[in-house]
Structure 1
Amino acid sequence: MARKNRIWFPNAMYHITSRGNRRNDIFRVKEDYEVYLKILREVSVYYNNEYEIICYCLMTNHVHLQIQTHEKHIKYFMSRLNSFYARYFNNKYNYVGHLFQDRYGSEVIDSGKYAVRASRYIHLNPVRANMVLKPEEYKWSSYSMYIGMKEEKLIESDKILSYFTRDTARELYRDFVESAMKNKSIEDKEVI
Structure 2
Amino acid sequence: MPRRARIVAAGYPMHVILRGIDRAAVFFDDADRRYFLEWLSAAAAQESVSVHGYVLMTNHVHLLMTAERDAGVPAVLKHLGQRYVQYVNRTYRRTGGLFEGRFRSAVIESDPYLLACQRYIELNPVRAAMVAAPGDFFWSSYRANALGERDPVVTPHPVYRDLASSEDARLSAYRRLFAVELSIELLQRLRDCTNGGFVVGRPQFERQIAAMVGRRTWKGSPGRPPKETDVGAQTELAF
Once the two structures are TM-superposed, the CA of residue 3 in structure 1 deviates from its matched residue by 2.8
Does structure 2 conserve the Cα–Cα contact (< 8 Å) formed by 1:161 and 1:170?
Answer: no
Aligned to 1:111: 110
Aligned to 1:26: 26
Aligned to 1:55: 53
Aligned to 1:189: 188
Once the two structures are TM-superposed, the CA of residue 157 in structure 1 deviates from its matched residue by 1.8
Measured in 2, the distance between the counterparts of 1:146 and 1:27 equals 23
Is the counterpart of residue 64 in structure 1 residue 62 in structure 2?
Answer: yes
Amino acid at match of 2:9: F
Once the two structures are TM-superposed, the CA of residue 149 in structure 1 deviates from its matched residue by 4.3
Once the two structures are TM-superposed, the CA of residue 9 in structure 1 deviates from its matched residue by 2.5
Relative to 1, partners in 2 of residues 1:77 and 1:12: Cα closer, same or farther, differing over 3 Å? Answer: same
Q: How many residues get paired?
A: 186
Does structure 1 conserve the Cα–Cα contact (< 8 Å) formed by 2:52 and 2:64?
Answer: yes
Measured in 2, the distance between the counterparts of 1:44 and 1:69 equals 9
What is the correspondence of 1:62-141 to structure 2 with a 5 Å cutoff? 62-73=60-71, 74-141=73-140
Measured in 1, the distance between the counterparts of 2:157 and 2:98 equals 33
Does structure 1 conserve the Cα–Cα contact (< 8 Å) formed by 2:12 and 2:110?
Answer: no
Give TM-score, length-normalised by structure 2. 0.72
Does structure 2 conserve the Cα–Cα contact (< 8 Å) formed by 1:20 and 1:61?
Answer: yes
Measured in 1, the distance between the counterparts of 2:12 and 2:79 equals 19
Aligned to 2:232: none
For structure 2, which runs of at least 5 residues remain unmatched after alignment? 191-199, 201-239
Measured in 2, the distance between the counterparts of 1:28 and 1:160 equals 34
Once the two structures are TM-superposed, the CA of residue 190 in structure 1 deviates from its matched residue by 6.2
Give TM-score, length-normalised by structure 1. 0.89
Does structure 1 conserve the Cα–Cα contact (< 8 Å) formed by 2:9 and 2:107?
Answer: no
CA RMSD in angstroms, aligned pairs only: 1.8
Measured in 1, the distance between the counterparts of 2:179 and 2:165 equals 19
Give the secondary-structure state (helix, strand or coil) at the position aligned to 1:174.
Answer: helix
For structure 1, which runs of at least 5 residues remain unmatched after alignment? none
Kindly, what percent of the aligned residue pairs are identical?
28
Query: Which of these two proteins has the greater Rg computed from alpha carbons?
Result: 2
Does structure 2 conserve the Cα–Cα contact (< 8 Å) formed by 1:11 and 1:69?
Answer: yes
Does structure 2 conserve the Cα–Cα contact (< 8 Å) formed by 1:59 and 1:126?
Answer: yes
Aligned to 2:5: 5
